[in-house]
Amino acid sequence: MNIPVLVTGTIIIIVFSWFYSVRAKRYHGITRFFSFESIFILFLLNYRLWFRDAFNWLQIISWIFLFASIYPGIAGFLTLKRVGKPKENFENTTALVRSGIYKYIRHPLYCSLLLLGTGIVFKDPGPFQIIPGIINIIAIYFTARIEEKEMTAKFGEQYIDYMKDTKMFIPFLF
């Protein structure tokens, strides 16, 4: 693994987490850091294998997860910016978003990170990849739980009702 790239990427992730979340006392950014970092480490471990043996069943599964991660990420981000009426940065919404992809899942951006991390793990699912993959899943789950507490404090009963109507990451399931 390229240590200077790892250190530089980690610093960028820390700055992003601080600027967009922690500085504003939105502490889900701390656990989300571990998701970003685990995905970054997975990428550094597996980037050489992305196009090797293209029709191997693991590669096909990997690409399915990677392509599936695109829609919830883009749809979630655009809907959040358009409907959430963000103040200062896209995370600081002033309106509860319940339309678009948010009608079906509460955390499309985190769903995207789950799919992305899982897709990268499948590029070469060895023990050094599975550990950061599991860290990503755990970090995303706790990030979502912390953010839900923050959103409940911000939007109150409106958010509690929203939680009853939608699933966390996967429509109709979880």
Q: How far apart are CA 99 and CA 141, in angstroms?
A: 22
| Number of alpha helices (DSSP H) and beta strands (DSSP E) in the chain | 7, 0
Neighbours of 19 (CB within 10 A): 12
Residue 63: both structure tokens together: 């690409």
Angle, CA 108 vertex, CA 31 and CA 143 arms, to 5°: 15
Output phi, psi for 84, to 5 deg: -75, -10
| DSSP state for residue 96 in the 8-state scheme | -
Average pLDDT, the chain: 92
Residue 56: both structure tokens together: 């191997």
Q: How far apart are CA 125 and CA 113, in angstroms?
A: 17
Output phi, psi for 139, to 5 deg: -60, -40
Q: Name the band, by pLDDT with cuts 50, 70 and 90, for residue 24.
A: confident
pLDDT tens for 26-64 read 888 899 999 999 999 999 999 888 888 888 999 999 999
pLDDT tens for 116-152 read 999 999 999 999 999 999 999 999 999 999 999 999 9
